Amino acid sequence: MGEFDLDKFKTIATPNDCLVLNTIRHQGPISRADIAKATNLTAPAITYITNKLLDSGIVTEHTIGQSSGGRRPILLAINPDTLNVLVIHISSNRLRGYLVDGELNVISEKEYSVQKMAKDDILELMLSTILDLKKDAKTDILGIGVVVHGPVQSKEGISLFAPNLGWRNVPIKYIVEEKIGLPTFVENDVRAMAIGEFYYGSASDIENMVFLKVGYGIGSAIFIDGKLYRGCGDSAGEIGHTTIDVGGPLCSCGNYGCLEAVASENALVKSMIKSIKEGRSSMVQEMAGGNLEDITPEMIYEAAEKNDNLAGRFLRQTARYLGIGIANAINTFNPELLVIGGGIVKAKSSIEKTMLDTVKDRCLENSFNQCKIEFSQMGEIATIKGAADVVMTAIF
């Protein structure tokens, strides 16, 4: 199987068809009555459209729902066997490829290291991985979602700058579509993860969310009234480059004291290395075999769990800085939910209390009381689902 057969999906002919289909994708299994509530379409219109989707095989009658007083409703869901989507996630050191079904379950996956690979070799590996996964497809492939770190122009499908890959202004969409012949969509890794979290994670029933990914760097995505806010130049959400400490360290962006420069995993490791070099002791040094350059965030998290004083101190410092950044975001956007993802989730037990205390102290009381703050439980699956959702939303 391979190229997308458009005739198979000709049922989806109007905006209302797309609205109903995407409602089923994002909220299914869902009853016809709940689809009507979510879309504000009439019951006859819902019946007509869902019957079309059922006849085409795109949607299936999934199960019987709970009764609210009358007859138990039939719940509708996407037919997982009707389409496939390919997802390629290229991080700073790994390339992962996934083939997913209509319900965004992973069917097949591949993973390769791209450390020290030339930028053109990474592109070739991306194309060969797509071709390998394409062989595993048992039905039509709707399209390809490519996720990269760093800023992108989503509409044009260009990776503007991915420093760890050596990429600048790489036209990924053009390259893949020319070589593979399938519709291709490009998204930043933070936004892809946030989309997955928003539609398929803890945010599935809310309209306004801020997603904060804290890993090597700090990125964010903002949802307002149920839609991803991109800004006029597709660069909204750079909370990691808001100033937290005017006298703070130099950030990768060239400014000083950015949230990323003081609260990212990279900043945490740098602080630990500097402190050990200055003569302070920590079991982290032993974990790294005496080689300070081998220290990882995970070592610091583990040491803190074992009551290492220096590790605990730096994690509390990180938590306070994160708390300030989160309070700023809540005061600015007044979201219902703020989700924290990325590697820092592994340190939840060490940072949560200090972080939340800081947020409460620095937040407007009303905004704080209206906002839930949660750590993501989805991990990489959020990125996969988010990238696949980008493809399906664009085509439907």
The 3-state secondary structure of 33-66 reads HHHHHHHCCCHHHHHHHHHHHHHHCCEEEEEECC
> Rounded distance, CA 315 to CA 351, Å?
6
Number of Cβ within a 10 Å radius of residue 259: 30
Name, in order, each residue with C-beta under 8 angstroms of 391's C-beta and a sequence gap of 6 or more. Answer: 85, 142, 143, 144, 145, 183, 185
- Fold for domain 6-78? Arc Repressor Mutant, subunit A (1.10.10)
> Rounded distance, CA 182 to CA 142, Å?
8
Number of Cβ within a 10 Å radius of residue 247: 6
> For residue 86, what pLDDT is reported?
97
> For residue 70, what pLDDT is reported?
61
Per-residue pLDDT tens, the chain, 396 aa: give them: 555 555 667 777 788 999 999 999 888 889 999 999 999 999 999 999 999 999 888 899 877 766 565 678 789 998 888 889 999 999 888 999 999 999 999 999 999 999 889 989 999 999 999 999 999 998 889 999 999 988 899 989 999 988 778 889 999 999 999 999 999 999 999 999 999 999 998 776 789 999 999 998 999 999 999 999 999 888 888 899 999 999 999 998 889 999 999 999 999 999 999 999 999 999 999 999 999 999 999 999 999 999 999 999 999 999 999 999 999 999 999 999 999 999 999 999 999 999 999 999 999 999 999 999 999 999 889 999 999 999 999 888
> For residue 234, what pLDDT is reported?
83
Domain boundaries, the chain: 6-78, 84-195+381-395, 206-375
| Residues 70, 128 contacting (CB under 8 angstroms) | no
> For residue 65, what pLDDT is reported?
61
Residue count (the chain): 396
> Rounded distance, CA 68 to CA 61, Å?
19
Name, in order, each residue with C-beta under 8 angstroms of 62's C-beta and a sequence gap of 6 or more. Answer: 28, 29, 75, 76, 77
Q: What are the distances in angstroms from CA 348 to CA 112, 310, 344?
A: 29, 17, 7
Q: What is the pTM of this model?
A: 0.90
Strands in 249-390 per DSSP E? 337-341, 372-375
Kindly report the CATH class assigned to 84-195+381-395. Answer: alpha beta
> Rounded distance, CA 211 to CA 236, Å?
12
- Take residue 215 and report the two structure tokens written for it: 């890993």
Q: What backbone torsions phi and psi does residue 210 show, to the nearest 5 degrees?
A: -115, 130
> Rounded distance, CA 211 to CA 105, Å?
23
Q: What are the distances in angstroms from CA 339 to CA 145, 210, 236, 330?
A: 23, 6, 17, 11
Q: What backbone torsions phi and psi does residue 70 show, to the nearest 5 degrees?
A: -110, -145
**Of the options 3.90.550.10, 1.10.287.3510, 3.40.640.10, 3.30.420.40, the CATH number for the domain spanning 206-375:** 3.30.420.40
> Rounded distance, CA 152 to CA 160, Å?
5
| Residues 76, 31 contacting (CB under 8 angstroms) | yes
**Domain pair 6-78 / 84-195+381-395, same fold:** no
> For residue 252, what pLDDT is reported?
84
Q: What backbone torsions phi and psi does residue 95 show, to the nearest 5 degrees?
A: -120, 120
> Rounded distance, CA 317 to CA 367, Å?
24
> For residue 6, what pLDDT is reported?
56
> For residue 28, what pLDDT is reported?
81
- Take residue 357 and report the two structure tokens written for it: 């205390």
Peptide bond before residue 29 is cis, with ω within 30 degrees of 0: yes
| Residues 347, 304 contacting (CB under 8 angstroms) | yes
